[in-house]
Structure formats: structure tokens, C-alpha cells
A and B are shown apart, each in its own frame.
Chain A
């Protein structure tokens, strides 16, 4: 049995979580997920400004902090912290933790290969809209192939203490140590599917150990010291999910089921670079306090394609708010929206979208929210999106004046004009697997 813990569900997750996982009990592998779809484009911009950047900058100091414990307790780390510059990330880790061996996985970054692919006739059509990539060629900011567990496992084979990848899938981070230690082969689909589902359960950190859980949430103990998840993986593909004893949170079938459903599409076809997992095969059973056994998982062969994560510059957006109080809070908020839209119309400004919602009334649940006759206060939240930055900028001047010139009791205009933000959009596409060649490099 090997213990694989997840200490970071996204870049920005609790900084203490990975440290406590190493401190509070035995683990063999610590996996850390830093990348969301849009993160790569932010990192690509940082790298263009400074060739030594372009990775998750929280990661090297974390390794510096836990390096001694990693050596003492024989804990290996696997992270997709490399972003678009895994080698620079590895060098910084080595600078802060000179006694650790670091391996990087390269080959996912295809930003420089887009024209080569297009020339070969690969259209890389958007999986959302069906449009060919050529329509946005000039706006592309980053392009990466999602890579699976096998390249990461080969990096672990070098006996590295730290494995740094770029755009690996979230599930591959946890599956990789199983492939490495149990010597699973690419055609052992059921086992790969089991490890993939284990990875899915822990990929959002404490969202499977009581965080964001709807069942009896008031009785979940000690959120402040919530324990992050640990997979106890067996060579036969069965596993248990648990957390360190004495930590906060909860692990039971309810918390695991909720996370299994998170960001799920067709449950019989959960496609990753490693396999196609079947979520309808999962069997859960309670195995003591804060421990759930997971068995029965089946899967199918991997597909011939890999998914590309492409980010491109779309345009601009801004979102402004005003708060109105009772009496007639909602009526006042609606009037404010009417005035802003009329002024935008008079200015002749056009946008891709103007969207208004009433926070405190129905912003989140829409028509599913119950009608409240007299809410004590309402925030009107008006957003615009467009490709003309000047128009978006002009919009940001139109809310604050209403404090003095619109319906009564307006407040909550915060710092004045809302900021104009660049919209970097996501373009998912497919590319034949054989075009993506990964390799492992050990950084001495």
C-alpha cells in the first residue's frame, strides 16, 4: 500500500495544507495541483516579460520549507507547478532545497508548434463551438497538451524527490505514483481507471474531506484545521480515502459522493490521457471513522487524441456595483440599471453583452430563487463585455454618478470606477496523441 496525499486543490489554496500533510502523519507522495485552464496564459505572459518566470511561484518556497521533512520521512512531491517554464521552476527549487533531486517533464508546451500543426492540416477546432483554430490564430497566448500519468511515472523512475510538470491533468498527479510503484501498464485499463478516479476524488483537496459538503455541514468538526485527503492505494486498483487522525473535516460516503459528481460529464466516459473511466462502476463502503473504501472500478482504453488547452485574448470586460437599501431596494436597483443602459445607448456604445443581476435577490439561483417581497438591501451588479476597450472603459464611468443623480439610498460604490480587465478565453481542442512527445530531464 502507498499513501498519496493532495495538498493543493488549485493555485491559491491553503498554504499550510501541504506542510501539515507532511508533518501530521505518514505519507509517501504529496501531489499539488496548481493549474486552472486560464492559468497557463497568465504564466505565458509572465515568461514573455521575464524568461525566468512562468511557473507557480508559491511552489519553490513551499519545497524549501518542507525539504528537510521530505528527506527525513521519504516523501516525494509531484506537482504541475512548472506552468510554461518547468525548468526555471526546477532551478528555483534546487536553489532553495539543494539536497533534493528534481526531475521535470517537458513536451506539453506546444505554443511554438501551432503553425506546424496547422500546416499539417490539424484544424484544432474548438470542442465548444466547432470553429477552426485559424479564426483566432493571431490572438493565441498559450497552448498546452494535457499529458497523463505515464510521463510523470517515468520522472519518478529517476528516483527524483520532486517531479515538476507543466500541463499534466489533475488526475495524473495522483495516478503517477501508482503507475511507478505498481508497474501498471498502459493496457491495464481497470487499474488506470481506478487510479484516475482516486485522483478525481482528491484533486480539489479538502472538497472531499468535508469542505463544501452539504450534508449536515454544521456538524463537520474544525474547518480551521481541516485535513486534506490521502489515498491509500493498493496494487490491485482498490483504494481507501482518508485523512490524518486528529485533523478537522470529515470523510464518509456523502463527502466522497459529492466530490465524485463534481465537474462530471458523461459518467461512463470520463476521458483522460491514460484511460476512459466508468464512474457507474464505483463501489463505496465505509471502512471506519473518516475512511471510505473504493472498489469495483472498471475502465476502457485511452483514446488516440490528447486535449489541448489553448488560451487566447478575447477582449475586455468590467463589472460595477451599487447598493440600495429598503424601502423599495429592488425597485431602485432596477431603475439604476435602466438609467445606466439608457446612458450607454445615448453614447452609442455597443457591447457583446450587458448583464445585470441583483445580488441579495436572485443573482445565483435565478428564477429558482424564492421571491422576497421586501429585501432590506440589494446590490445591482452590471457587467459589460466587448472587444472595444474604449467602450468598456467608458462604461466604468457610468455607475458612480448615480449616487447623486439617481434613485435614493445608493451606496457601496467601493473604490469608484470598477477596473477594466482583459478577457482571456479558453479554446479546448484535440490533437493526435503521437504528435506530443514528452521527455524527462533531471536538474542537477
Chain B
């Protein structure tokens, strides 16, 4: 079955120049393997489409049940250069939680 990430994870996002960071955290640590399996850098890049001009990097923090993504060239130049309303990527965490992922019933 498919569920929105918001059902199994929470998130926070921020900026470093033109790179946004999006951290997603399993609400229940036993769901962390689902995040690792489903939320790949390719899928994150596809999810945000033209918003992310550069590559997407992923880092694992199993101790927190969390993944950290770096979305390069995603903030319209970043900082004061950006013309975007969300120039600091504050809402991208919530945006990523819209993604739908495949989950086996036994996993939930």
C-alpha cells in the first residue's frame, strides 16, 4: 500500500547558501528502514522536479532514525540573491512529507 511520508515521519528544513537541507525523521524508529529503502536521492529529486537544479545527497543518522538530504542549487541562488518567497527552504521539509511511499502492511 502507499502512504504519505507524513504518516510515518516528521521533518525540518533549512539553508546553507543555495543548498537546502531537509531532514526527515521516523516518528517511530522501527519505520526508519522504510525511509532508508523508499526515500532515495533520485526520488527526492524527482519529487521536487524543477525546484532542485543540482544533485541531491543523502546522509543516514540511524541513531536518530533520520535521513538528511542536501538539495543543491534549489534556493534560487540562496540567501539575499534569491527571488523566491521561501528563500531559505523552510517549507521544503513539509513538502517532502507529501511524497507517497510503498509500505508492506506488516511494516506499519
A binds B: yes
Closest B residue, CB atoms, query A354:
B83
Chain A 26-60, CB-CB to B under 8 Å as 1, else 0, gives 00000000000110000000000000000000000
Out of B11, B16, B62, B68, name the residue touching A214 (CB < 8 Å).
Answer: B11
* Contact of B64 with A257 in the complex, beta carbons under 8 Å: yes
Within the assembled complex, what's the spacing in Å between the Cα atoms of A314 and B97? 35
* Contact of B80 with A423 in the complex, beta carbons under 8 Å: yes
- What residues on A are CB-neighbors of B66 within 8 Å? 257, 260-261
B95 to chain A, nearest CB (A): 4
- What residues on A are CB-neighbors of B91 within 8 Å? 364-365
Residues 262-286 of A contacting B (Cβ, < 8 Å): 262-268, 279-284
Chain B 29-65, CB-CB to A under 8 Å as 1, else 0, gives 0000000000000000001111100000001111111
B66 to chain A, nearest CB (A): 6
Contact A282 B80, CB 8 Å, known A368-B47, A368-B95, A368-B96? no
- What residues on B are CB-neighbors of A266 within 8 Å? 59
Within the assembled complex, what's the spacing in Å between the Cα atoms of A385 and B17? 17
A317 at the interface (CB under 8 A from B): yes
* Contact of A265 with B70 in the complex, beta carbons under 8 Å: yes
A366 at the interface (CB under 8 A from B): yes
* Contact of B21 with A258 in the complex, beta carbons under 8 Å: no
- What residues on B are CB-neighbors of A381 within 8 Å? 85
A427 to chain B, nearest CB (A): 10
- What residues on A are CB-neighbors of B99 within 8 Å? 368
- What residues on A are CB-neighbors of B13 within 8 Å? 262
Within the assembled complex, what's the spacing in Å between the Cα atoms of A265 and B58? 10
- For the residues of A in contact with B, the DSSP-based class is mixed
A84 to chain B, nearest CB (A): 18
Closest B residue, CB atoms, query A214:
B10
Q: Which of B49, B63, B97, B99 has its CB near the most chain A CB atoms (within 10 A)?
A: B63
Within the assembled complex, what's the spacing in Å between the Cα atoms of A12 and B77? 24
Contact A261 B79, CB 8 Å, known A282-B64, A366-B48, A367-B51? no
Out of B10, B62, B85, name the residue touching A364 (CB < 8 Å).
Answer: B85
* Contact of A282 with B63 in the complex, beta carbons under 8 Å: yes
- What residues on B are CB-neighbors of A262 within 8 Å? 12-14, 21, 23
B61 to chain A, nearest CB (A): 5
- What residues on B are CB-neighbors of A353 within 8 Å? 76-77, 83
- What residues on A are CB-neighbors of B61 within 8 Å? 261, 267, 279-280
* Contact of B27 with A215 in the complex, beta carbons under 8 Å: yes
A431 at the interface (CB under 8 A from B): no
Within the assembled complex, what's the spacing in Å between the Cα atoms of A279 and B66? 11
B3 at the interface (CB under 8 A from A): no
Closest A residue, CB atoms, query B86:
A364
Within the assembled complex, what's the spacing in Å between the Cα atoms of A363 and B95? 11
- What residues on B are CB-neighbors of A261 within 8 Å? 11-12, 21, 23-25, 61, 64, 66, 68
Within the assembled complex, what's the spacing in Å between the Cα atoms of A55 and B5? 44
* Contact of A260 with B64 in the complex, beta carbons under 8 Å: yes
* Contact of A367 with B80 in the complex, beta carbons under 8 Å: no
* Contact of A265 with B16 in the complex, beta carbons under 8 Å: yes
A428 at the interface (CB under 8 A from B): yes
Chain A 162-176, CB-CB to B under 8 Å as 1, else 0, gives 000000000000000
* Contact of B10 with A128 in the complex, beta carbons under 8 Å: no
Contact A363 B83, CB 8 Å, known A258-B25, A261-B12, A263-B21? no
- What residues on A are CB-neighbors of B83 within 8 Å? 317, 319, 353, 355, 383-385
Q: Nearest 8 A-B pairs (CB), nearest first?
A: A261-B23, A383-B83, A367-B49, A366-B51, A365-B95, A355-B83, A263-B14, A258-B12
Pull 25 A–B residue pairs with CB atoms less than 8 Å apart, ordered by A: A214-B93, A258-B10, A260-B64, A260-B66, A261-B12, A261-B64, A262-B12, A262-B14, A262-B21, A262-B23, A263-B21, A264-B68, A265-B70, A267-B61, A317-B81, A317-B83, A355-B83, A357-B85, A363-B86, A365-B51, A366-B50, A367-B51, A425-B81, A426-B79, A428-B17
Residues of A within 8 A of B (CB): 37-38, 128, 212-215, 254, 257-268, 279-284, 314, 317, 319, 353, 355, 357, 359, 363-370, 381, 383-385, 423-426, 428
Residues of B within 8 A of A (CB): 10-18, 21, 23-25, 27, 47-51, 59-66, 68, 70, 76-81, 83-86, 91-99
Q: Given A267-B61, A353-B77, A365-B51, list of 20 further CB < 8 A pairs?
A: A214-B12, A254-B10, A257-B25, A257-B65, A261-B24, A261-B68, A265-B16, A279-B61, A280-B60, A282-B64, A314-B80, A317-B83, A357-B85, A363-B84, A364-B91, A365-B94, A368-B49, A369-B98, A381-B85, A426-B80
